Structure 1
Amino acid sequence: MADPMMKSDSSNPFTSVPVEITISVGKARPLIGDLLNMNENSVLPLDKRVDDPVELYVGDKLIARGELEELEGGQEGQLAVRLTEVAEFESGL
């Protein structure tokens, strides 16, 4: 039996409510001393590589993974995410 709250049609008023998605490309764990010595040209290494998947979150809930790419037809250099894995909301990713 379908869940009536999961409708994707326009009769559901929640379909037009915007939601903010945070894209996480990685984490850094510098020492506080290193952080205090950072300046405008400092480099902060992350725990991910350029080709690693990014993670998409709504609040603290992981909802998908994807790959960064440049948006075609958009403003030059504008980033986008191509989804490669989407969470099943019953059990997570």
Structure 2
Amino acid sequence: MDQRRSQDSPRREPIRSPGLWIGMAVIVLAGVPFYLPAGSVHPMLLGLPYWMAISVLFTVLFAAFVSWICLRRWNVVEPEEQAAARDGGEMR
């Protein structure tokens, strides 16, 4: 899994990025279909009310977004681990 992180890249923590928080908030708010008419269950999509299909879609989108953040935007390798990997030795 080291191919996803560059050993020379600085330590990054996406928790400090307001854009990622805004993206997560938008996905969560879009996944709660409060903007649809009250009491509506029609039309049906694959046998499910369309509000449920919207919720499931945005739940999967949220999981994909958080996975992308963890895999691509987060460099969690500590400096000691980087030094050990560079020297070819093990950490103590």
The bucket for the TM-score relative to the shorter chain is under 0.3
The structure richer in helix per residue is 2
The structure richer in strand per residue is 1
Higher Cα radius of gyration: 2
TM-score by length of 2: 0.27
